[in-house]
Amino acid sequence: MSQSEGRVGARDRGGFDRRSLLKGAAALAVAGGIASGARAAAGGLIDAHSHSWGGDLSRYPMVNGQTARDRDPPDYDIDTVLAREAAIGVSRVVLVQHIGYFGFDSSYLTDAARAHPGTFAVVGAVDDRRADAPEAMQAAKTAGVKGVRLRGVNTASWLTSSVMATIWATAAEENLVLCPLLRDSPDMSDDALVHVAEMCRRYPATNVCLDHMAHVKPGDTRQLDRLLALSAFPGVTVKVSGLNKFDTPPYDRVIPQLVALIATFGAGRLMWGSDMPVLEREPPNTLQAAFDFIARRAPLDDQQRDFLLRGTAERVFFGG
């Protein structure tokens, strides 16, 4: 067992006093916890996690011979993103590569970012099986990518992969954010968060942003302890995103986990993301409901709400 695994294991056994955290969260929820609506801070609100697909297939071809008919929904182009986000008061968006549709080619997203300066930040993707992945990261940065998505499959191999080692080192050198999509596959080890902790220990200068609360489900206390343990690494941030994966509106089952995350990471290391249009594949989930969870439902003060809806994503993805 590595030193990092030992530290995480100690926290699994109660180092974060999880019972007290969750008890306090429940008390907040029972007390009402519905604060005033989100305030429009300078710079505009940010959706830290949305997908987009569309455009001319001859210019933006899909992988494995797919066409627009294979997408769900068939079209969610940049103009649609702008209109849907504007309707809830969001003016900036972190666009995340959909690997299943476009593989590792992020040109549709980077072209959109260039066409709308200051509106979009792009999280591209890299094939961690290829030895030239670091060079691909550098080229993606030149094209406008700010972050790199990693598929969190077989994460135990990350600890021995020379390519993955170079990816983590290159991310630090190039000021790129690594965005692991953990627990997304039945093949992924339950110890994925332990493996991430070990990589963070080895590469402390690498910034890491965990999508969808690392897919830790409400009530999964073992994985929640492991997620909370990552707060020991200052470069780790967490997206409170993809709420359809955890509950249905108004998402009250997520409140204890959100309060525990704030207690350990602080609101300044958390950000809200919709995961549109994937979110709305499962009614009754809607963009408005997901936004309202943070803007109006969750027990947050104005400063915490501002971090989740603007400040953290602005620092991590829109900063210099």
Residue at 71 is within a domain = yes
Residue at 134 is within a domain = no
Residue at 132 is within a domain = no
Query: What is the per-residue pLDDT for 13?
Result: 33
> Which residues have a Cβ under 8 Å from the Cβ of 9 and sit 6 or more positions away?
1
Angle at 158 (CA atoms; ends 152, 162), nearest 5 degrees: 135
Mean pLDDT by 10 residues, the chain (320 residues): 38 42 40 34 84 95 96 97 98 97 96 97 93 95 97 90 96 97 71 96 98 94 96 98 98 98 98 98 98 98 98 93
Query: What is the per-residue pLDDT for 184?
Result: 62
Task: Find the domain containing 8 and state its range.
Answer: 3-33+45-125+146-317
Query: What is the per-residue pLDDT for 41?
Result: 41
Residue at 140 is within a domain = no
Residue at 217 is within a domain = yes
Q: At what angle do helices 221-229 and 255-265 cross, to 10 degrees?
A: 30
Query: What is the per-residue pLDDT for 25?
Result: 41
Residue at 294 is within a domain = yes
Residue at 28 is within a domain = yes
Query: What is the per-residue pLDDT for 187?
Result: 59
The pTM of this model reads 0.88
Element (H, E) at 171: helix 162-174
Domain CATH for 106: 3.20.20.140
Query: What is the per-residue pLDDT for 78?
Result: 98
Give yes or no for a cis peptide into 186 (omega within 30° of 0): no
Residue at 215 is within a domain = yes
Q: How many domains does the chain have?
A: 1
Measured between alpha carbons, how far is 194 from 6 in angstroms, rounded to an integer? 9
Query: What is the per-residue pLDDT for 9?
Result: 38
